[in-house]
Amino acid sequence: MLKLFKTILKAGEPTVKYPFKPLEVCPGFRGKPELDPQQCIACGACTMACPANALTMETHPESNERIWQLFIGRCIFCGRCEEVCPTRAIRLSEDFELAVTNKADLYVNAVFRLQHCVACQQPFTPEKSVRYAVELLRQSGMSDEALEGMAAQFSTCPACKRKQAISCHEKRTLSFAVVEKRHEHL
Amino acid sequence: MNTFNHHVSQPIALSDDAARMKQTLLKDIKRSAYVYRVDCGGCNGCEIEIFSAITPVFDAERFGIKVVASPRHADILLFTGAVTRAMRVPALRAYASAPDPKICISYGACGVGGGIFHDLYCVWGGSDTIVPIDVWIPGCPPTPAATIHGFAVALGLLDQKLKGVEHVQGADEKPALILPDIPLTLRVAVEREARRMAGYRQGGDISHRFLTLLQHQDVGAVEAWLKQEHDPRLSEIVHRLSAVVAGEVVA
């Protein structure tokens, strides 16, 4: 009997004190994904990577917004979003207490504005992703004057750029057949 | 969906009496709560975590939460799995067999929103499409601690921590550059090498920590970090990254 008590005393208490004391999770624990909306450039890399489609993004050009949404209920905490985020905007926290009585509380929304093209006035990309690209160019050594000079290019959509490129070089022959004929003449 | 005249599953509606009685159960149960787990076509990960929640380490039974073998004994029904076509009727039978009032909990990513199976052809996508759910416990699977927290929320012992967030872009929001003092090409080269060696997620973390220490021009700190971690794999990777920084290795 005494021996049994000794064994019990030696074994100690294995039960965690969890709901009364916070539980310590192991390093590398993947809990609730937290978005830092300041850092997010709404590029959509995380929504492409999310295997469960917990992360979704909708673009509404008529109301000039792109809505990023995380449905924590569907999240499988794999960390792919964290891997692909170019600005470290989404990180997996150590928060695991996610039970809710109201399903609407499982949604995280973020609304971002769109960049309008100076030529055709159509939105073509999120405003913040253009700003971030400019900052990256500045970091890689482009001067402020050069960036200022290219300001019109940053706010032109790819389709308009293509059109402008063609209209600028109108005199150049684009057709193969014509060039070949010219070669024959020579 | 309505334009194609597709059927959209609606959960069972509760009678007024059952709803009123359930409120007293949710707020103040005043006795042990018996749990029956209903598998609606899950992968069994959730079941394993439910059973680890009643092991001595987490010991849900100290709160009187007991897993029972029959729905006829149950106060709480735990619905796991994404509700497949084959398991829908058995789940409804288990629901019908449990005496009123009963608390229904949607458990795991599949139960809450269908999880990775949410858009499969034979899947209803969440247990709230078939039964009235009171508490949602997300996680894939929820850890035993999350399970205990979920039970506590269901029985009114704890309040839910999570709140829905709605952010609208401010007037002058600007994303900060990562490591502005490190040249962009160097950062990309180091990150690429670290991800090649340590895998994508860990590689990203290692290169970020390494470059943060370098940014502060703290060579001693790198050594201190390696000593503290005491991991030969990490030392190998970080030495390789140092070689990339020194220009000895082209990543």
ipTM of the predicted structure? 0.86
Interface mutation target, options B55, B110, B116, chain A, most CBs of A under 10 Å: B116
Cα–Cα–Cα angle for A22, A26, A31, rounded to 5 degrees: 75
The per-residue pLDDT for range A94-142, each reduced to its tens digit, is 999 999 999 999 999 999 999 999 888 999 999 999 999 999 999 888 8
Residues from chain B contacting residue A89 (CB–CB below 8 Å): 175
What is the model's pTM?
0.85
Average pLDDT of B28-40? 89
Using the Cβ of A66 and the Cβ atoms of chain B, whether some distance falls under 8 Å is answered with: no
Residues from chain A contacting residue B178 (CB–CB below 8 Å): 87-88
Q: What is the pLDDT of residue B1?
A: 46
The per-residue pLDDT for range B174-204, each reduced to its tens digit, is 888 888 888 888 999 999 999 999 988 889 8
Q: What is the pLDDT of residue A175?
A: 55
The per-residue pLDDT for range B52-75, each reduced to its tens digit, is 999 989 988 888 899 999 999 999
Residue B251 has pLDDT above 60, yes or no: no
3-state secondary structure of A65: strand
The distance of A181 to chain B (nearest Cα, Å) reads 46
Residues from chain A contacting residue B123 (CB–CB below 8 Å): none
The per-residue pLDDT for range B237-247, each reduced to its tens digit, is 999 999 988 88
User: B178 or A167: which carries more pLDDT confidence?
Assistant: B178
CB B112 within 8 A of CB B104: no
CB A119 within 8 A of CB A158: no
Residue B217 has pLDDT above 90, yes or no: no
Q: Look at A38 and B176 and tell me if their CB atoms are within 8 Å.
A: yes
Q: Look at A104 and B164 and tell me if their CB atoms are within 8 Å.
A: yes
Q: What is the pLDDT of residue A185?
A: 54
The distance of A137 to chain B (nearest Cα, Å) reads 9
The distance of B135 to chain A (nearest Cα, Å) reads 4
Q: Look at B185 and A140 and tell me if their CB atoms are within 8 Å.
A: yes
Q: Look at A88 and B185 and tell me if their CB atoms are within 8 Å.
A: no
Q: What is the pLDDT of residue A177?
A: 54
The distance of A159 to chain B (nearest Cα, Å) reads 26
Q: Shortest CB distance from A76 goes to which of B126, B140, B167?
A: B140
Residue A178 has pLDDT above 60, yes or no: no
Using the Cβ of A44 and the Cβ atoms of chain B, whether some distance falls under 8 Å is answered with: no
Q: What is the pLDDT of residue B76?
A: 92
Residue A49 has pLDDT above 70, yes or no: yes
Return the number of other C-beta atoms located less than 10 Å from residue A116's C-beta. Answer: 17
Average pLDDT of B38-43? 90
Residues from chain B contacting residue A26 (CB–CB below 8 Å): none
Count of A–B CB contacts within 8 Å?
173
Residue A174 has pLDDT above 80, yes or no: no
Residues from chain A contacting residue B113 (CB–CB below 8 Å): 54, 71, 73-74, 106
Residue B222: pLDDT band by 50, 70, 90 thresholds?
A: confident
Cα–Cα–Cα angle for B199, B200, B206, rounded to 5 degrees: 80
The per-residue pLDDT for range B127-177, each reduced to its tens digit, is 999 999 999 999 999 999 999 999 999 888 888 888 888 888 888 888 888
Residue A171 has pLDDT above 70, yes or no: no
Residue A176 has pLDDT above 70, yes or no: no
Give the span between the Cα atoms of B71 and B133, in whole angstroms: 16
Average pLDDT of B13-34? 85
Residue in chain B closest to A132 (alpha carbons) equals: B175
3-state secondary structure string across chain B? CHHHCCCCCCCCCCCHHHHHHHHHHHHCCCCCEEEEEEECCCCCHHHHHHHHHCCCCCCHHHHCEEECCCHHHCCEEEEECCCEHHHHHHHHHHHHHCCCCCEEEEEHHHHHHCHHHCCCCCECCCHHHCCCCCEEECCCCCCHHHHHHHHHHHCCCCCCCCCCEEEECCCCCCCCCCCCCCCHHHHHHHHHHHHHHHCHHHHHHHHHHHHHHHHCCCHHHHHHHHHHHCCHHHHHHHHHHHHHHHCCCCC
Q: What is the pLDDT of residue A17?
A: 87
Q: Across all residues in chain A, what is the average pLDDT?
A: 86
Which residues 83-142 in chain A show a CB within 8 A of chain B?
83, 87-89, 95-113, 127-128, 131-132, 135-136, 139-140
The distance of B73 to chain A (nearest Cα, Å) reads 23
Residue A179 has pLDDT above 70, yes or no: no
At A113, give phi and psi (nearest 5°). Answer: -85, 160
Residues from chain B contacting residue A106 (CB–CB below 8 Å): 112-113, 136, 138, 162, 164
The per-residue pLDDT for range A56-81, each reduced to its tens digit, is 999 999 999 999 999 999 999 998 99
Residue B14: pLDDT band by 50, 70, 90 thresholds?
A: confident
Q: Across all residues in chain B, what is the average pLDDT?
A: 88
Instruction: Find the distance separating the first CA and the last CA of chain A, reported in whole Å.
Output: 112
Give the span between the Cα atoms of B162 and B243, in whole angstroms: 45
The per-residue pLDDT for range A12-42, each reduced to its tens digit, is 888 888 888 888 888 889 999 999 999 999 9
